Amino acid sequence: MTIVIHAENLTKRFGQFTAVDRVSFRVEQGEVIGYLGPNGSGKTTTIRMLIGLLLPTEGKANVLGYDVVQQSEQIRKRIGYMSQKFALYRELTVEENISFYAGVYGVQNRNRLVEVLDLLGLRTLAHERVDELSTGWRQRVALAAAIVHHPQLLFLDEPTSGIDPTARRAFWDLIYALVEKGVTAFVTTHYMDEAEYCTRVGIMRSGKLLAMDTPPNLNTLYLPGPVFEVIAQPLLPALNALSACPGVIRARLLSDHLSAFTTPDVNATKLKKAMRDAGFIKARVEPSEPTLEDVFLALEAS
């Protein structure tokens, strides 16, 4: 497999503050990488270093075979970058915006313009001004502008912040369509459920990459054991009882029921018995699907 991104101990310090702290990872062609972390965890700074907009303080990175420090121009020709605040000309039309970016990247073929408009379902909106579009549609225009020059690698910085689930779904279908053609996507997000769209997920906190793996592997590697939903009343005493059950690592409230992850030796029957012994005779315990949020909480507990 071709490695398209190779980062080794990539570090960026701004004065005393370490924004990105010895981050190392590899990305293969055709992957969809989710780079997940809260605001200020170093996601955007990582991208900026990878596309050569920001010099690393330490460490090195290679993107599409080019060094990010020495050969950033080569990299920028071959990648597409969609930033959080899309760089679109709001008073220009959809077509004018895409045509502008085609010019910037030296795309000569006029057919490509039509192709991109079609691919993103923007044909009928070609002559609309960008500032008259909804956020969801504007996001598509920004994606169109980012792919007009056939990039092999796409960096998408929080591409779906603030759009509704149907528009987000449509956006992801477009990303998958590009990936089917061999494009690699590197996507930052602070939505944990969005990271589920990715083939591998990197978890960032305070500049450090805590883990990077497929969602099922993250579950098995970082979750100490199974996750359960517990239905018992009254909730607050039940939460205390559940926290005290043998093997429970972390118990939490989910509005009208409880959730807990446990050590591997616990099963639903055992947990139910422990809850009943604690006086919650009607307690129900069901195994639940682990989420990335559980993984996050487990990483914190470890």
Partner 1 sequence: MEALIVARNLWKSFDGMDAVRDLTLQVSGGQIYGLVGPDGAGKTTTMRLLCGAYLPTAGEVRISGYLLSKQPEMARAQIGYLPQRFSLYEELTVMENLRFFAEVRGLTSQMWYPRSLEILEFVGLAEFADRRAGQLSGGMRQKLGLAAAFVHRPKILLLDEPTTGVDPVTRQDFWQLIIKLSLEEEVAVLVTTPYMDEASRCTRLGFMRDGKLLIEGSPNELKAPLNGRILMLRGTPLPLLRDRAKEDPCVEDALMFGDRIHLRVKGGTKKIELARLKRAIRKAGGEVTQLRLIPPLMEDVFIAFVKTEEEKSTTHIEA
Instruction: Name the nearest CA neighbour of 35 among 221, 219, 189.
Output: 189
Rounded to a whole number of angstroms, the minimum distance from the CB of residue 65 to partner 1 is 25
Rounded to a whole number of angstroms, the minimum distance from the CB of residue 302 to partner 1 is 12
Q: Considering beta carbons, is residue 5 or 201 the nearer one to partner 1? A: 201
Q: How many CB atoms lie within 10 A of CB 275?
A: 23
Tokens representing 30 are: 């055709």
Q: Considering beta carbons, is residue 101 or 228 the nearer one to partner 1? A: 228
Beta carbons within 8 Å of 36's beta carbon, 6+ residues apart:
188, 189, 190, 192, 195, 201, 202, 203, 204, 292
Q: Considering beta carbons, is residue 155 or 172 the nearer one to partner 1? A: 172
Rounded to a whole number of angstroms, the minimum distance from the CB of residue 224 to partner 1 is 16
Instruction: Name the nearest CA neighbour of 219 among 195, 244, 184, 251.
Output: 195
Q: Considering beta carbons, is residue 24 or 134 the nearer one to partner 1? A: 134
Task: Report the alpha-carbon distance of residue 154 to residue 185 in Å, rounded.
Answer: 5
- The binding site for partner 1 (CB under 8 A) comprises 32, 34, 37-41, 134-136, 161-167, 169, 172-173, 176, 180, 190-193, 196-201, 205, 214-216, 234-236, 252-256, 288-289, 291, 293, 296-297, 300
Rounded to a whole number of angstroms, the minimum distance from the CB of residue 107 to partner 1 is 27
Instruction: Name the nearest CA neighbour of 51 among 72, 21, 29.
Output: 72
Rounded to a whole number of angstroms, the minimum distance from the CB of residue 118 to partner 1 is 19
Q: Considering beta carbons, is residue 106 or 234 the nearer one to partner 1? A: 234
Burial class (CB in 10 A: 0-12, 13-18, 19+), 295: buried
